[in-house]
Structure 1
């Protein structure tokens, strides 16, 4: 079958699509990393060797592996080879503690654990408790990946994969408790690949990836690019200047970035000298994306800009084509086709249009469950009166009269002060108007008088002399009476996850007021 015929099928696996590209465009480059590259024929053969190696080591369909390393061709090949073997892949964050890595690998029931030198060094103190055999992707120790591989030309036994079979287990960041394994199916990923056609992915697409491969943020662009026969350019570590160089060098057409990366790229002093005219679509997700930043990107960076709002767990997705709706940049767009997104109150009842509620969503792209945690799975499920299953996002929002969703905040981050609901995003929006402010986050801190009260953590622009006292006075003169800040703490930078989410728990733990908060 041709690629076009396959895309009309009810279900096709990603490894099968790569086999088709190896047949139809064997010399077309699939992956680029620095000065290395691999074409589809070579990638397909490498996946077969990985399948043979895993089966030789006793892995069978339904088993799992873990991968924890910086992005590389080898990392991508192991992920894809595991899928061809019918093995679920658990991509883990290198920023995790050694104890967390052991816990997550054990929770996933990983039989093999692929790492690089940096992660292996982190695991050294706990290596006797590791539940899986280590394999070194970068060849920094034994067994090295190339030595572990079956001989050239080796192929494993073919595996039949059902749509509901586990594709990957992605662990939540753990910023609010123990990480939960989010099990996504091959059928869910097939939905992402099919949808990729609408966004221009195909053999001519060149996608620059600078977010890590353990993040769903990355994977929603990574898999459609390869599934539809394009080229992925991998960055092991993000740097704004290097990103711009690669984009120009490889004539990049697509990219996925998080807001903090967009902000750093747009602020690069030489941004305007780079030729970015080949860009067709730029995507963003994972963290709040300010209207001001979107507007700057639309003005100065060629190509469309699309923001996705959703969860790794799946459910409903909203899409904002910012280049088509420049008057809606304060929103995250409308529900994607076939996605049912509703708002509910604390009692689980739907709220009327225009009112604020928690966002819940249903679609064909939903996780199977949290791995081995049925109670946690039940906590994020909501069922409408007909029994239709939705995923709770924990976000609070409101639909406008045109059906565009405006997010207020994470439900858990909402501040209840003196009985009033205060949304940190509203305060942050006001604070960002200060000309000497580079970055800011507002969190709720305990208060004997009010229960909770808002505190701002602010990063001053380089070369300015912004003080907490002056910023506090400036902000409170512009905020409503119930919104006023109790304090401002200046910081060098905001703690963020690898995909740009502000770690508010770390901010709370770091708060050192000059005087106690009333």
Structure 2
């Protein structure tokens, strides 16, 4: 049996752990999707065929491949097989524009492109593609089908030594703030995520359900630990609240990662109580603000623990809220993880004393090497303390409470400066959510002739409520200080979100380019 993983375990590659599980438990399930399932032995052999095919095609350790596809067992096996060959994986979002995808492929210097036919229209012209889905035409001039591209069964790849500092993947930022940047993560950084999993009950009996995309770090921080500990991963190609609950109940799921909007949609289902979720051991959440009221609802009605991770794909410092252990701290994102150094700095980069509010910076053993081929952008997010230690800037504004729990105020870039006063949109959003007509809301700052900036609320109105925009604005402003009053309320059918649930406030701002009074 593979040696037990602890938070202090020495570095090991995840692909080597897969090999050990395949030797010890060859016929037990390793992963599945809606169409296919793989045992540990089958996964290990498929990874070998992927690694051998990449080596046959001339890829060397440190070279990169790009993947643009929906979740599937083949996608996961390709990812792992590339890592076995020392090849860097650059997973890319099928939701981006064709122009953005071309930029990312170029930035990653990808030697091979893998996709499914659902992303065909996005692909750069002239690029030869290996098609991951079975529907691909093996005779297509655009490239071979995955099964035809693979090395023959039984072919062993050349062994590759992969050190901890070698690049594991390049994760492209979600694009909520503009052009995506390639975040370079090492094998050592990923190993830190695996070792952290020892605290959350991962084992060979783990059954993890994932409906967030494999190109997102949100998914990968649970996907890789599950496999490293010998559990089984169930992949959903697309999230659907009903289908999620059906799968969770039928497969006796023990672990999951969901983003806040997914928890919101699941908990809102009238039939939620009908599903047997008693097998759950631990549920995780990250990537976007998680309302305290939803956390409380999950704790009350969904068995198992609830853990919120606060941090960045870039790494640095992580805060962890074990919500089931601290139900009185649901308004926070928890305390710094063991071995993580979280501090607050002011606008000039000076470290702030306890109790002050400032930008969150963090340092840990899990930090990106930098943004791929963008040293200037890397320097922008780095902060060094008096001892010369490197920290990553989050762009979030927060403060520590008296017990050392971090309370987030807002994104620094989202803060509205109106007439010289700082306005935190999260405060206004929290008040608006108390109104019975508000189902969802986002507040952004827009140009103002009189104040420089002023807050405007975009609101998804709850079904069955006839409240008008001017009525809702009057209700809010009657309860707010003068500097926090809204200049306008606009009803919207749905807030624009990224695939992992982040509200795209940039898109909302672009709707109101004309300054308001």
Q: 1:63 — aligned with what?
A: 63
- C-alpha contact 1:317 1:361 (8 A) present in aligned 2: yes
Q: 2:72 — aligned with what?
A: 72
Distance between the aligned counterparts of 1:400 and 1:175, measured in 2?
A: 29
- C-alpha contact 1:455 1:487 (8 A) present in aligned 2: yes
Q: 1:45 — aligned with what?
A: 45
Q: Secondary structure at the match of 1:4?
A: coil
- C-alpha contact 2:401 2:407 (8 A) present in aligned 1: yes
Q: 2:327 — aligned with what?
A: 326
Question: TM-score by structure 1 length?
Answer: 0.97
**Per-residue deviation at 1:122?**
2.5
Q: 1:433 — aligned with what?
A: 434
Q: Secondary structure at the match of 1:3?
A: coil
**Per-residue deviation at 1:34?**
1.4
**Per-residue deviation at 1:6?**
9.1
1:134 aligns with 2:129: yes
- C-alpha contact 1:283 1:308 (8 A) present in aligned 2: yes
Distance between the aligned counterparts of 1:435 and 1:106, measured in 2?
A: 48
- C-alpha contact 1:444 1:452 (8 A) present in aligned 2: yes
Q: Deviations over 1:97-125 (max 9, x none)?
A: 111111111111111111000111232xx
Q: 1:517 — aligned with what?
A: 516
Q: 1:111 — aligned with what?
A: 111
Distance between the aligned counterparts of 1:505 and 1:488, measured in 2?
A: 17
Q: Secondary structure at the match of 2:353?
A: coil
Q: How does 1:13-412 map to 2 (within 5 A)?
A: 13-123=13-123, 126-128=124-126, 130=127, 133-139=128-134, 140-142=136-138, 143-412=144-413
- C-alpha contact 1:489 1:511 (8 A) present in aligned 2: no
Distance between the aligned counterparts of 1:136 and 1:3, measured in 2?
A: 37
Q: Secondary structure at the match of 1:191?
A: helix
Structure 1: segments with no counterpart, 5+ residues: none
Q: Secondary structure at the match of 1:251?
A: coil
**Per-residue deviation at 1:176?**
1.8
Distance between the aligned counterparts of 1:220 and 1:179, measured in 2?
A: 20
- C-alpha contact 1:316 1:339 (8 A) present in aligned 2: yes
Distance between the aligned counterparts of 1:496 and 1:330, measured in 2?
A: 22
Q: Deviations over 1:436-464 (max 9, x none)?
A: 11000000000011110000000011122
- C-alpha contact 1:3 1:20 (8 A) present in aligned 2: no
- C-alpha contact 2:360 2:395 (8 A) present in aligned 1: yes
**Per-residue deviation at 1:478?**
1.3
Q: Deviations over 1:15-35 (max 9, x none)?
A: 000001001111111111114
- Closer/same/farther in 2, CA of residues 5 and 418 from structure 1, 3 Å limit: closer
- C-alpha contact 1:6 1:12 (8 A) present in aligned 2: no
- C-alpha contact 1:468 1:488 (8 A) present in aligned 2: yes
Q: Secondary structure at the match of 1:425?
A: helix
- C-alpha contact 1:173 1:179 (8 A) present in aligned 2: yes
**Per-residue deviation at 1:175?**
2.5
- Closer/same/farther in 2, CA of residues 19 and 425 from structure 1, 3 Å limit: same
Distance between the aligned counterparts of 1:197 and 1:352, measured in 2?
A: 33
Q: How does 1:469-488 map to 2 (within 5 A)?
A: 469-488=470-489
Q: 2:499 — aligned with what?
A: 498
- C-alpha contact 2:285 2:309 (8 A) present in aligned 1: yes
Instruction: Report the count of equivalent residues.
Output: 511
Distance between the aligned counterparts of 2:345 and 2:121, measured in 1?
A: 46
**Per-residue deviation at 1:192?**
0.7
- C-alpha contact 1:316 1:361 (8 A) present in aligned 2: yes
- C-alpha contact 2:55 2:157 (8 A) present in aligned 1: yes
Distance between the aligned counterparts of 1:313 and 1:25, measured in 2?
A: 35
Q: Secondary structure at the match of 2:125?
A: helix
Q: Deviations over 1:341-397 (max 9, x none)?
A: 000001111112111100000000000111111111111000000000000000000
Distance between the aligned counterparts of 1:341 and 1:506, measured in 2?
A: 31
Q: 2:12 — aligned with what?
A: 12
- C-alpha contact 2:447 2:513 (8 A) present in aligned 1: no
Stretch deviating more after TM superposition (346-355 or 422-431): 346-355
**Per-residue deviation at 1:177?**
2.2
Distance between the aligned counterparts of 1:98 and 1:262, measured in 2?
A: 31
| C-alpha RMSD over aligned residues | 1.3
- Closer/same/farther in 2, CA of residues 445 and 94 from structure 1, 3 Å limit: same
Distance between the aligned counterparts of 2:223 and 2:71, measured in 1?
A: 12
Q: 2:141 — aligned with what?
A: none
Distance between the aligned counterparts of 2:121 and 2:98, measured in 1?
A: 9
Distance between the aligned counterparts of 1:8 and 1:184, measured in 2?
A: 20
**Per-residue deviation at 1:466?**
2.2
Q: Secondary structure at the match of 1:127?
A: coil
